C-alpha cells in the first residue's frame, strides 16, 4: 500500500496552496464578514482551470484523478470553505453531464463549463424533500417537443450563476417506485418562469449563495433531458453523489486541518503562568487527539478517492470518509476554540469561522445518519467488505 502522493499530485497541491495563501487567506475574514462575493477569487480559479476538474480533457477540462479532486477541496477549504462550495456544486454538475449527457449536451456545455465561461450547480433539495429525494414535488410534463416544469427548489448553491442548472424532477409522478419516474432536466438561465428568489441566511458557509429557486410553467426543449431518456434521474444523481461525498469529505478534512494548525500555532505562542500553554498536559491531550482525527480522516478520504480512481463503486467508502471527516472537523473546530480560550470566540480569529462552517459538512450531501445506513446496507448485503 502506498499512502504517498505521486509527483504530479504533489505539484498540483503546491499550486493550490500557493493560490490559497496568496488570494484566499488574506481576504477570507473580511469578505466573509461583509458578505462580499469573491469575484476575484473565482476569476483566478478560472485561470487555473479549476472549473474543469471533472470535465474530460477532450472538452477542454483537466479531467483530474479523484485524489487530486479531493486535494483541491481540502486545500481550498483550509483557506475558506465557502470558496470550495462554489467549485463543488459546479464540479458535481459537470461530472453528471460528462458521465450521463448526450453527445450534443456534452459538446454544447462542457467546453464553456470547463473554462468557467459558464458555471453551474445542481437543484435537488426542496422545502419538503431533502434526504428523501423520491419525495420531491417538482414535476415536468411533456408537451410536444418541450417539458413544462413546475416546482420549487431550495438550498441551491450557485443558483444565480448556473447556466444550465440541472433540475431533478418527476416526469412520471405516478411511477412506482417513485425513482423510476424521475429525470434530470438542464434548465438554462433566463428561461421564462425560472426565478432565483431569496438568498437563505446561514450560520456559516459564506462566500457562496444558497438560494430558493421557483419554476413556474418553465418550458424547456425535450433535448435538455439529461441523457435523452426519461426515468434515469435518480440513478444519475446517486452516481454523482458518490463524487459529491468525496468532495464534502475533503472539505471537512480541510476544516479539520486548519483548526488543528491554528491550535498548534496558538499553543506555542500563548503563555500562561510564565510558559507556553502547549506545555500544559490538558492542552497537549487536545492537540494529540486533533492530530489523530485529522490524519485518520485524511486516510479515509484518500482511500475513497483512490478506490474511485480504480473504477470501483464507492458509496460505502465515500460514506465512511464523509461521516468521519465531517465529525472530525466539528471535533477539531471545537477543541481548537477551547485551546484559544476567549479569543477562539472572537470573529478576529480564524477558528471562529471554522467552528461555524464545520457543522454543515455533517449535513450536506446526505446527513451522517444516512451515511451510516448506506455503509451498513453495503456491508450487510455483501456488496462491500472490511478487512
Any idea which residues carry the catalytic annotation?
365
C-alpha grid cell, residue 365? 450531501
Q: Which of 200, 206, 254 is nearest to 83 (CA)?
A: 206
CB 171 within 8 A of CB 230: yes
Backbone dihedral region of 248: left (phi > 0), alpha (psi from -120 to 50 degrees) or beta? alpha
Helix (H) or strand (E) segment spanning residue 262: helix 233-269
Cα–Cα distances in Å, from 162 out to 110, 138, 196, 263? 13, 18, 10, 38
Gap between the Cα atoms of 149 and 139, Å rounded: 6
Residues ≥6 apart with Cβ < 8 Å to 260: 287, 290, 291, 294, 332, 336
- Grid coordinates representing 23 are 488570494
Give the list of residues 6+ apart from residue 201 with CB closer than 8 angstroms, or none. none
What span, in angstroms and rounded, lies between the C-alpha atoms of 91 and 54? Answer: 6
Run of H or E residues at 143: strand 139-143
Q: What's CA 237's distance to the chain center, in Å?
A: 14
8 Å CB contact between 72 and 16: yes
- The span from the CA of 307 to the CA of 310, in Å, is 5
CA atoms within 13 A on the CB side of 316: 15
Asked whether the beta carbons of 284 and 356 are under 8 A apart, the reply is: no
273 Rama class: left (phi>0) / alpha (psi -120 to 50) / beta: left
Q: The C-alpha cell of 71 is what?
A: 486535494
Q: Which residue shows C-alpha cell 484559544? A: 340
Q: Write out the DSSP string of 341-362.
A: GGGGGSTTSHHHHHHHHTTHHH
Amino acid at each position: 500500500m502506498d499512502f504517498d502522493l505521486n509527483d504530479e499530485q504533489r505539484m498540483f497541491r503546491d499550486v493550490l496552496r500557493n493560490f490559497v495563501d496568496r488570494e484566499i487567506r488574506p481576504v477570507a475574514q473580511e469578505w466573509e464578514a461583509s458578505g462580499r462575493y469573491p469575484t476575484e477569487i473565482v476569476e483566478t480559479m478560472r485561470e487555473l482551470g479549476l472549473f474543469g476538474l471533472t470535465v474530460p480533457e477532450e472538452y477542454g477540462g483537466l479531467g483530474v484523478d479523484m485524489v487530486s479532486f479531493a486535494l483541491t477541496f481540502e486545500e481550498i477549504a483550509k483557506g475558506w470553505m465557502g470558496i470550495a462550495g462554489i467549485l463543488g456544486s459546479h464540479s458535481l454538475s459537470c461530472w453528471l453531464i460528462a458521465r450521463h449527457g448526450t453527445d450534443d449536451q456534452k459538446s454544447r456545455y462542457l467546453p464553456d463549463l470547463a473554462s468557467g465561461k459558464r458555471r453551474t450547480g445542481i437543484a435537488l433539495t426542496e422545502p419538503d424533500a431533502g434526504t428523501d429525494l423520491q419525495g420531491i414535488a417538482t414535476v415536468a410534463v411533456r408537451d410536444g417537443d418541450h417539458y413544462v416544469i413546475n416546482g420549487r427548489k431550495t438550498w441551491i448553491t450557485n443558483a444565480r450563476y448556473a447556466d444550465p442548472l440541472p433540475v431533478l424532477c418527476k416526469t412520471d409522478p405516478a411511477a412506482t417506485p417513485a425513482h423510476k419516474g424521475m429525470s434530470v432536466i438542464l434548465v438554462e438561465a433566463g428561461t421564462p418562469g425560472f426565478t432565483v428568489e431569496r438568498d437563505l441566511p446561514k450560520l456559516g458557509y459564506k462566500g457562496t449563495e444558497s438560494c430558493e429557486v421557483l419554476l413556474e410553467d418553465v418550458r424547456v426543449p425535450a433535448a435538455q433531458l439529461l441523457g435523452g431518456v426519461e426515468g434515469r434521474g435518480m440513478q444519475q444523481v446517486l452516481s454523482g453523489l458518490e463524487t459529491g461525498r468525496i468532495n464534502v469529505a475533503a472539505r471537512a478534512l480541510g476544516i479539520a486541518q486548519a483548526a488543528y494548525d491554528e491550535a498548534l500555532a496558538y499553543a506555542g505562542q500563548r503563555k500562561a503562568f510564565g510558559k507556553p500553554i502547549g506545555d500544559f498536559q490538558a492542552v497537549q491531550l487536545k492537540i494529540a487527539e486533533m492530530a489523530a482525527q485529522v490524519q485518520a480522516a485524511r486516510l479515509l478520504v484518500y482511500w475513497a478517492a483512490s478506490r474511485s480512481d480504480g473504477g470501483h463503486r464507492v458509496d460505502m467508502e465515500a460514506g465512511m470518509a464523509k461521516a468521519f471527516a465531517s465529525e472530525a472537523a466539528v471535533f477539531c473546530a471545537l477543541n481548537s476554540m477551547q485551546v484559544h480560550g476567549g479569543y477562539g470566540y472572537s470573529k478576529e480569529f480564524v477558528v471562529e469561522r471554522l467552528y461555524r462552517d464545520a457543522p454543515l459538512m455533517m449535513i450536506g450531501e446526505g446527513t451522517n445518519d444516512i451515511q451510516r445506513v448506506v455503509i451498513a446496507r453495503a456491508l450487510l448485503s455483501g456488496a462491500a467488505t472490511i478487512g
